[in-house]
Structure 1
């Protein structure tokens, strides 16, 4: 099982944090973090439910991580193993994650696919999202799979959708002309964009687009 203790910083304020696998006793706190992290217009039916979380900790506990500060769960990240065909990258979040239930988890899969990552808004300045991502990279290396992969939302795209295409928006983010809270974050975590995906998720802010982004196992 995965567990590490680190110090995280908000300015000069240091806090001890724990990143570990979550268990059934953590379910209420994980659902609370989802509600805090994805307020409307994000669809409430996409918040975790107990059946989904039960599948996470039973089907693939290695891919069920949470971040804890002062005994309070303030973030989580979840994945599953899939077989990914690089020649056919387009897919939906629903197809790849079984709608978050991960019943399609393949223990022999070549790719660790990100189902979700979230951090409570009041703790985001501590850099916990990046630490969760780094921890999942370590799981990729330990399991000796080819990559970490997932679709990144584009939550600021709706502000520019009338004046530029989704592809142009991504190019502006990559060039630094625009910043997107999700895509820019993933770039800073070392993820590389490989495809723009239409109708990835019902997501008004992103106009249903996502950028498929990967981190390749450097030992493969």
Structure 2
């Protein structure tokens, strides 16, 4: 069983396109877990309409504490053996689920995979054909603490990883960085170099490709996540 976890907030503009690209790839036994964090636009109405038509959609009221807590809550509600993270404004390419599941089947010791993405504008015109190439993505625990390249929009993991990543500390910079580093520490992560997602960039994205944070802020983030990882890795893994 697959669980797709989506954290939504004011995503009415692109949400239907993303949901359509996901649902067509899932079986009747799979689920789409959506945590909406108090949207003020028509997001909630759209989600209710989809949930009424499709029993695979499980809609929850989010904790109202921001994107990290919202994704954490969605992951907590998931029941599937495999968990895919999805942003509200992207588009999954048709072979995403099949390619990712085949990779997991061929690599039983791998807990987490990150597939490449095509960076596109709001109309889905290509900006960069490979996120991996553009961001010089590579695996590695210490490398990604210093300069994180892990991206939730391309991320999928086995449910056995949930016990290690949850709860997600409130002080970490982003949920995907935390999840990727937990898997990387045990060397149980891998990359799929085939682009499987159209990663849409627009004026209201919740995350940035290249952070505008100051060096001091980035240093604070690295210190916070290093301390949180030390506590988790020493006592929980």
The structure with more strand, counted as a fraction of residues: 1
Q: Using CA pairs below 8 Å that are at least 6 residues apart, which structure has the higher relative contact order?
A: 2
TM-score by length of structure 1 reads 0.32
The structure with more helix, counted as a fraction of residues: 2
